[in-house]
Structure 1
Amino acid sequence: MNAPHLPRSVVRGRVLLPGDTDFDAASRPWNLAVEQSVAAVVEAADADDVVALVRYARSAGLAIAVQPNGHGATGRAEGTILLRTGRLDGLKIDPATRRALVGAGVPSGRVQAATAQHGLTGLPGSSPVVSVTGVALGGGLSWFGRAYGWVSDAVTAFDIVDAEARQRHVTADTDPDLFWALRGGGGDYAIVTAIELALQPAPRLFGGRVLWSAAHAPEVMEAYRQITAVAPNELTVWLDLLHFPGADPMVAVDVTYLGAEREARDLLGPLDHLPRPISDSRRAMQVSELGGITAEPTDPGAGLSRGELLTRLDDAAAETLLADPIAPLLSVQIRHLGGALARPSDSPHGPLTEPYALYLFGIPTDPATAEQVTVKQRALADALPVSGRKPLTFLNPTESVSDAFTPAVLTRLRGVKRRHDPRNLVRSNFPVGG
């Protein structure tokens, strides 16, 4: 592909070509451990720009990879025009109908800030800087997934530009197959410029993090298992084994509860019998403050991740997780699932029946450390009761859609791709073709 000849006049937004001063920064993925070699970058000003770009790409025989800010990049965009949708940042909240119209570039934190004013919430994850549209296209695990299911389940419509450069409004009635594929099957079928999202009531929220020395990890793990065994769907509890550079190992419990503080503290009673924590940030909060619970980085950085789904967290699994220090990993996170996530879902992922998710993360400071991180991740996954499937948004660059979907679902997704984009003009981070 010879996309460097892309005329700057094709769109009103900024076009960056190799050799331009800002090209390297504009083409860089969020995960700096991923090498992303693209032929051009287009920062679309609006949906009309997307139409113009698709029309040009069709005539020139080029492909387009779409990324608001590079989350989830896998390095599979080589040679494409990288479309940045960050300027598609429209956001409208209708509190009467509990609906939000969310532009493709709008981050989760901005939606939460807007919905909080009305006692409502979207389905936010742990990071406030990821795009809501990107998360929804991958299915999406939320703090409130136990209460309301996949993030994609809350999407009621998509505004798209299809591979023939037509703007369309896609719903379950207008195009059931495409609507189904977009609700968690990735971004391989069309370019999404906005989504319509159903909002949920959240008049009260309690949440925060409790942190202990890792010396207390066995007691914390046991309390975590007790709490999650009987937790109502409104309560979400994650456990984190942490080892930050230059600090002693620690263990944390992160919580959110859609309800009153007194109810939450009663449900979390086993934590009160543990040794005195290093810190405890739990309190009544606004849904706009959720990003502060885990305090994930809000700037790009290098990382190596591996996600899995656990079929159980029994004595043997708990002992395996705690048997050795997590180093060279930075964190080992266990998320309680279940609830609405396990209910029927008309989406590519379907119901998520595994009770826990596992997320293993390390920083590849050099090639030797990168190898050690990967070996540690593999060893833990091999020793734990994992199901073999994982959410699309948990995949790392070495994995593919076959790690997320069943063969039957993949066959259906590939059929949608062939019908709507037979020239493979739109390229996602995890293409359904392989």
Structure 2
Amino acid sequence: MINKLNDLRTLVRGRVLTPEDDDFDQARRPWNLAVEQPVPAVVEVADAADIAAVVRFARAHGLSVSAQPNGHGATGDLGGAILLRTRRLDTLEIDPAAQRARVGAGVSSGRVQAAAATYGLTGLPGSSPVVSVAGVALGGGLSWFGRSHGWVADSVTAFDIVDAEGGLRHITADTDPDLFWALRGGGGSFAIVTALELSLHHAPHLYGGRMLWPAEHAAEVTDAYRQITATAPDALTVWLDLLHFPGSDPVIAVDTTYLGDHAEARDLLSPLERIPRPLADSRRIMTVSELGTITAEPTDPSAGSSRAELLTDLDGTTTKTLLADPIAPLMSVQIRHLGGAFTRPSDSPHGPLTEPYALYLFGVPTDPATAEAVTAKQRALAEALPVSGRKPFTFLSPGETVADAFAPAALNRLRYIKRRHDPDDVFRGNFPIPG
């Protein structure tokens, strides 16, 4: 097999690494260092033609391929697929008149935001500026501005792909409605996306930041959070974070963005102003290119263990349960307010999100005992809180499947599209669609 894989070097312009190469382990490593990702080869593709060549090679030899710019959604279950690193597909073109961007598969969210901000426009970024736009869109995508504009995938207007025959194609809702629908949130099991086009949105004003208090004010902060989110306009997004970093005291934070005037934002957030002695308040007028500073998530690979759920309610009983015990050994328990445009019709596998809040539970598995304790705490909280049992695709974790994200009718349609467009299972997503 190694000899066959070495033949790839003559077919592509990019770098091919196999287990015989010294830097192979570094190349195959995903963003989450807690995930082991065994693959037979890594190809750091130079362009779409490289991808097409690898797909044809894989098809001829009974292999599969999987694309990852950085591997943020990696699960370790790639089934022996050749791993494509797509970071060099870095095209970024902004058409301010049409309010549209053309984005290569390796382009990060932060780079799109920086380019769009020049024209008073925005994409639909999440909390981290270093994730790829293509990866987020393929998983549906929850954004700071989703309450105003829906799923990230809802803003995608076209895909450039390599199909299972190794052909280069441009896909829209008109050229192939089934495949276009599947790619807007169904993952990487149908084609390799080399670039996408997406609508940008007006963002002439933005106010945002984080307020932070000692954990002793947790009940007051959660009450204020419930009050604010109960009547929040779509332009306002507010997230609640219980945080306990190693070596420090537990704290509680409220992260917020508002697509509008700062005075309006402060008025909407006034219940927070009445809570005494915040440790910090970073809220300010900002540009859309600065969104990554709000939660200040790591920008380098690290180990982590996460679990996500969708909450059906956030009443007083729910918040009391949430605050009843320390979150340790978890590092973060985050609640994201959904609603708004998320509840409206969406031509995507997810469809509308009717649950009003998302719950994200994160810990660091520093050793086997801690890993087990983190998993147990995540499970206990999920079982104690009112969850729907459904999860956003981009928040799926190792051990979960697409059946945890999609309704049965949507999953059946995805399976039909998989059989039609990739009957030989050439493409392997992080969370595969069964044939």
- Bin the TM-score by the shorter chain: over 0.9
Aligned to 1:99: 100
Q: For residue 233 of structure 1, what is the amino acid of its counterpart?
A: D
Shift of the alpha carbon at 1:69?
0.7
Q: What SS class does the counterpart of residue 38 from structure 1 fall into?
A: coil
Contact persistence 1:154–1:199 (CA under 8 A): yes
Could you tell me how far 1:5 is from its partner in structure 2? 3.7
Provide the rounded CA distance (Å) in 2 between the counterparts of 1:323 and 1:41.
Answer: 47
What does residue 142 of structure 1 align with? 143
Give the equivalent residue in structure 1 for 2:312.
311
Q: Mapping of 1:23-422 within 5 angstroms? A: 23-422=24-423
CA displacement at 1:6 relative to structure 2? 4.0
Residues 63-102 of structure 1, C-alpha deviations (whole Å, 9 max, x = no match): 1011011110011114211000000000000000000000
Identical aligned pairs, as a percentage?
73
Contact 1:206 1:257 in 2 (8 A): yes
Give the secondary-structure state (helix, strand or coil) at the position aligned to 1:293: helix
Q: Is the 1:4–1:18 contact (alpha carbons within 8 Å) kept by the matching residues of 2?
A: no
Deviation at 1:224, TM superposition (A): 0.3
Partner of 1:10: 11
Q: Corresponding residue for 1:430? A: 431
Name the TM-score, length of structure 1 as normaliser. 0.99
Aligned counterparts of 2:7 and 2:208: Cα–Cα separation in 1: 49
1:393 is paired with a residue of what secondary structure? helix
Deviates more, 1:43-52 or 1:98-107: 43-52
Q: Which amino acid aligns with 2:115?
A: A
Provide the secondary structure at the position in 1 that maps to 2:295: coil
Q: TM-score, normalised by structure 2?
A: 0.99
Name the amino acid aligned to 1:386.
Answer: V
Match of 2:19, as an amino acid?
P
Name the count of aligned residue pairs: 434
Q: What is the rounded CA distance, in whole Å, between the counterparts of 2:420 and 2:84 in structure 1?
A: 22
Map Cα deviations across residues 293-332 of structure 1 (whole Å, 9 max, x no partner): 0000111111110000000000110000000000000000
Secondary structure of the structure 2 residue equivalent to 1:7:
helix
Shift of 1:365: 0.5
Task: Look up the equivalent residue of 1:268 and give its one-letter code.
Answer: L
Segments of structure 2 that go 5 or more residues without pairing to the other structure are none
Contiguous gaps of at least 5 residues in structure 1? none
Partner secondary structure for residue 125 of structure 1: coil
Measure the CA separation in 1 of the matches of 2:340 and 2:79. Answer: 40
Task: Give me the CA root mean square deviation.
Answer: 0.9
Residue 242 of structure 1 and its aligned partner are, at CA, apart by 0.2
Q: What is the alpha-carbon distance in structure 2 between the residues aligned to residue 77 and residue 345 of structure 1?
A: 29
CA–CA separation in structure 2 for the residues paired with 1:79 and 1:125 = 30
Aligned to 1:361, what secondary structure does the other structure show?
strand
The one-letter code matched in structure 2 to 1:152 is: A
Paired amino acid for 2:64: A
Task: Write the distance in 1 (CA, Å) between the matches of 2:46 and 2:6.
Answer: 20
Equivalent AA in structure 2 for residue 23 of structure 1:
F
Counterpart Cα distance in 2 of 1:408 and 1:242: 38
Instruction: Tell me which moved more, 405-414 or 236-245.
Output: 405-414
Is the contact between residue 106 and residue 132 of structure 2 (CA under 8 Å) also seen in structure 1? yes
Which residue identity does 1:118 align to in structure 2?
Y
Q: How far has the Cα of 1:136 moved from its partner?
A: 0.3
SS in 2 for 1:427: coil
SS in 1 for 2:72: coil
Distance between the aligned counterparts of 1:180 and 1:4, measured in 2? 33
Secondary structure class of the residue paired with 1:146: helix
1:4 to partner: Cα distance: 3.9
Is the contact made by 2:207 and 2:257 (CA closer than 8 Å) also made in structure 1?
A: yes
